[in-house]
Amino acid sequence: MRSILETFVRCFLFLKILFLLKKLQLSDVVLQYLDGLFSSEAKTYL
């Protein structure tokens, strides 16, 4: 149960960071890097 909550919090924080980055209009390279980083981390937990 705790791991599910932890995953949800991570997803929420990731989306929040992603939103802030898009708001700041940083380059797509940074977004792709973060997306890849999160994907690999998600695979580790799954």
Collapsing DSSP states into helix, strand and coil, what is residue 22? helix
CB-based burial label for 44 (10 Å; 0-12, 13-18, 19+)? exposed
Q: How far apart are CA 9 and CA 7, in angstroms?
A: 5
Residue ranges covered by each domain of the chain:
2-45
Q: How far apart are CA 14 and CA 34, in angstroms?
A: 9
pLDDT on residue 45: 62
pLDDT on residue 2: 76
Q: How far apart are CA 40 and CA 46, in angstroms?
A: 10
pLDDT on residue 40: 77
pLDDT in tens, 2-36: 788 888 888 898 888 888 877 776 667 777 887 88
Q: How many CB atoms lie within 10 A of CB 5?
A: 9
Is the pTM of the predicted complex or chain greater than 0.75?
A: no
pLDDT on residue 42: 67
pLDDT on residue 29: 73
